[in-house]
Amino acid sequence: MLYKLSKNTSVLSKDIHRITNKKRMRRKVSKAIESYIYLIPCVILCIIFGYYPFIKNVLYSFSLVDFNGNIVNFVGISNYKDLLTDKNFYISLKNTLYHVAMVLPAGIIISYSLALLANNKRKFSSVYETMFTFPMAISMSAVSLIFKMMLNPRIGIINYIFKLDLKWFDDPKTAMISISIVSVWMGIGFDFLLFLAALRGVPKEMVEASEIDGARFWSKLKNIYIPMTSPTIFFVLCTNAVGAMMMSGPSLVITNGGPQASTKTLIFQLYETGITSTNYAYASTIGVIVFLMTFLLLLFCFRYEKKGVYYQ
């Protein structure tokens, strides 16, 4: 009798164990499925607003497209041949690369310098920290119009204060430099916040130990601050590189690509060709070229990530 009872008890415990395991498996499966369900809206939005337009843009670049945006015929690489023999494309390419070469280092150096100044908290630090982030609160159009007035050769305050006789946006030699100044100023606020957060995350013990050893500011900057904030520097470098390649707003608002096409960038040419002239295939070809150039630029930035970025 006792043997039968123990046998039934063992069978019952095995059944309970099986049921428990099944419930655990169902919970794990349901949790895994639940996490994917939450991702579905994000994936759908990415496909609709990201991947689908990109694929359609690539198809347009190999096609002949009518006024309504319908593909009429497949033309192969003829759009790319036309683009590579277009003088306006090379003018826009030169202006874009010139803008990237000016904005990328200037924006990072100025923002990082301001973050170093604001790193140590003082009595009125919240005041100038807020002032450094002001560019974030003003729209691109408003900034462009403000700078257009400030750098006006006749009534501009900059020429008046510094006794200059520069035409700024009206001279082909200085127009792109002026546009780059606007672009740098617009990006200072957000980059400053990122650098300030990174600098204040540097361990104080490390800085104090270096000061005890007699390290000066430049030594601390080279051996402590820059290595410890290198991930943030790398992130800002990548985002600013993409932003500089995609610049078109200030050129549209301030100079409209002039004077003498000196501020016409690749994105400006894309807008001019696709929106103004409704040549969607040609504009799509420019878009693919800009994507490839930006991709190569980011690959170059990632070379810095392998060599110069220090992860704690």
Q: In CATH, what number does 86-308 get?
A: 1.10.3720.10
Contacts of 120 (CB under 8 A, 6+ apart): none
CA 137, 142, 145, 149 torsion-angle sign: negative
Question: What's the pTM value of the predicted model, to 2 decimals?
Answer: 0.84
Report the range of poorest mean pLDDT among 11-25, 145-159, 176-190, 192-206: 11-25
Q: Could you state, in order of their start, the residue ranges of all structural domains in the chain?
A: 86-308
User: What pLDDT, on a 0 to 100 scale, did the predictor assign at position 98?
Assistant: 94
Share of the chain above pLDDT 70, in %: 90
- Integer Cα distance of 300 and 292 in angstroms: 12
